[in-house]
Structure 1
Amino acid sequence: MATASKPKPLIELKQISKSFGASNLVLDGVDLEFYPGEAVAIIGPSGTGKSTILRIVSGLLEPDRGEVLINGKPLRGIAGEGGDIQVGMVFQQAALFDSLTVAENVGFSLLEHSHLPRKEVAEIVADKLRLVGMPNVSDRYPSELSGGMRKRVSFARAIVEEPDSKQKQKKILLYDEPTAGLDPVASTVIEDLIRSLRASQCDSYIIVSHQHSTIRRTADRIVMLHGGKVKWQGSVDEIDTTDNPYVRQFFSGSKDGPIQIVVEENS
């Protein structure tokens, strides 16, 4: 019987290393592959490089060493050149412009970088705001919205695209702590939205989260980082059965284990 061939990775990280300052090595020779159709959660303690990976994949940050391939092409080769992959980023703090309305925030990239008439941009923006359950907030400013509402506006901004790009471009969404700081009900709304957008607006996504409910409800596969290295990969179903000490400690919240938090005492 013929064995099904493994799909081609959508994103490949090859020996990625990144330091901040002389002594803060955040990523240490990381190899990772992300496949079409996947929903992957990157987990681990604070400061272990999870958000750094998202910024490197999005092209916002360059690694010190290593290479990122998007659909088999070096990231620099397709960034900003109309490649067949579109990467959208949802930042932890929403990162909206305080001086712009919701509509101006969501349509910012089209207003700045496309030649579309403002009326058509407004129609695209209205459509995306409806998709995230925010149809009547176009004229509001970020300061007038709750934390959960700002998150949803940032989702709308991440999925905005020019009409003629829909057929030729695959879409990858990167979520950096999308439910951080939200109450349980607001978190559930955001988690459901992430799943629904996967079905209608993107091919794959990568999510960074500390929230156990978000990890379990939004991801199919999990990557565990610690000390700048990948310590474990597996499915969500394996969380409760794996013997990996890093995963066991992360989900139990125990102080005993390989993850040690150093607390500096005031002198």
Structure 2
Amino acid sequence: MTEPLIELKGVSKSFGDNIILDHVDLTIYRGEALGIIGPSGTGKSTILRIIAGLTPVETGEIYVAGQQRQGLIEDAQDPIGIGMVFQQAALFDSLTVEENVGFLLYQHSKLPRRRIRDLVARSLEMVGLPGIGNRYPSELSGGMRKRVSFARAIMANPDNAKDNPQVLLYDEPTAGLDPIASTVIEDLVRQLQFADEGCGSYVMVTHQDSTIRRTTDRVVFLYRGKIQWQGKVSEIDTTDNPLVRQFFSASVTGPIQAIG
């Protein structure tokens, strides 16, 4: 393995009496494509929000590029940029695509507007959506909105390298998409990983079989607040772990309790 970019050590999180994460240890390495999988409601999105610095932990430590994080992202800047692609794209309906993609630079940088527009145009081109900066989210398909959220996540600030994402966090990016649109998004995830101006490390949370197999190299299986199994994506079909076997067979019989 290469050097760790992000480390979670003994991280726990509860909501009321519901224990979501129970002393979880997780390492994200530079240059890897990590998948976090498991049944619904097991804390996968919570882990992403903790990694992004958006949700506090109750116990445990978080290290980013070797430095321990204190508080949330709003309390102190991480030594590297972390971008997040939310499940529902999370675009501002009242803003144009250009304003959505360039939002952080417009709000928090001193770059001239023309320079930001150029950076936005380049980011949109990277996700295969050139020339749509003047449209509004309501004028886009679901797949296009997802790609716009990708463009926003990879936006770089040439004046501040710490703002530039070195890790991307994907929360169910293919949820609700048809198989063809899902394939477009899956291909885009890999293209951005290896693009010169892309982001070489990412964490993927997904339930979708094709997305797991096409976008991840290493997988951790989360259930009942703990990592129950981890291995290469190629080991999914050969493991004898009953949780993994039940999950991928979609069987209602096994250690995973069916909900609803």
Asked if the contact 2:55–2:72 (Cα under 8 Å) also holds between the matched residues in 1, the reply is no
Kindly report which structure 2 residues correspond to 1:1-267, keeping only aligned pairs within 5 A, or say none: 7-21=2-16, 23-76=17-70, 79=73, 83-165=78-160, 171-200=166-195, 201-263=198-260
- The letter of the residue matching 1:74 is Q
Asked if the contact 2:8–2:25 (Cα under 8 Å) also holds between the matched residues in 1, the reply is yes
Asked if the contact 1:84–1:169 (Cα under 8 Å) also holds between the matched residues in 2, the reply is no
Offset, 1:213: 0.1
Asked if the contact 2:53–2:72 (Cα under 8 Å) also holds between the matched residues in 1, the reply is no
Q: Which has the larger radius of gyration?
A: 1
Name the % identity. Answer: 62
Any idea what the Cα deviations from partners look like across 1:134-178, whole Å, max 9, x if unmatched?
112111111111100000000000000111345996610000000
**SS state at 1:163 partner:** coil
Which residue in 2 is equivalent to 1:3?
A: none
Any idea what the Cα deviations from partners look like across 1:52-101, whole Å, max 9, x if unmatched?
00000000101111111111111238946555411000000000001000
**SS state at 2:132 partner:** coil
Any idea what the Cα deviations from partners look like across 1:211-241, whole Å, max 9, x if unmatched?
0000000000000000010000000110000
TM-score by length of 2: 0.95
**SS state at 1:105 partner:** helix
- The letter of the residue matching 2:53 is G
Q: Structure 1 pair 226/83, CA: closer, same or farther in 2 (3 Å)?
A: closer
**SS state at 1:11 partner:** strand
- The letter of the residue matching 1:35 is Y
What is the rounded CA distance, in whole Å, between the counterparts of 2:127 and 2:159 in structure 1? 22
What is the rounded CA distance, in whole Å, between the counterparts of 1:169 and 1:153 in structure 2? 17
Unmatched segments (≥5 aa) in structure 1: 1-5
What is the rounded CA distance, in whole Å, between the counterparts of 1:168 and 1:185 in structure 2? 33
What is the rounded CA distance, in whole Å, between the counterparts of 2:253 and 2:133 in structure 1? 49
Unmatched segments (≥5 aa) in structure 2: none
Q: Which moved more, 1:159-168 or 1:139-148?
A: 159-168
What is the rounded CA distance, in whole Å, between the counterparts of 1:78 and 1:164 in structure 2? 23
- The letter of the residue matching 1:40 is L
**SS state at 1:56 partner:** helix
Asked if the contact 1:40–1:222 (Cα under 8 Å) also holds between the matched residues in 2, the reply is yes
What is the rounded CA distance, in whole Å, between the counterparts of 2:210 and 2:64 in structure 1? 29
What is the rounded CA distance, in whole Å, between the counterparts of 2:22 and 2:78 in structure 1? 29
What is the rounded CA distance, in whole Å, between the counterparts of 2:9 and 2:112 in structure 1? 41
**SS state at 1:205 partner:** strand
Asked if the contact 2:56–2:72 (Cα under 8 Å) also holds between the matched residues in 1, the reply is no
What is the rounded CA distance, in whole Å, between the counterparts of 1:83 and 1:120 in structure 2? 25
- The letter of the residue matching 2:97 is V
Q: How many residues align?
A: 257
TM-score by length of 1: 0.92
Asked if the contact 1:170–1:203 (Cα under 8 Å) also holds between the matched residues in 2, the reply is no
**SS state at 1:139 partner:** coil
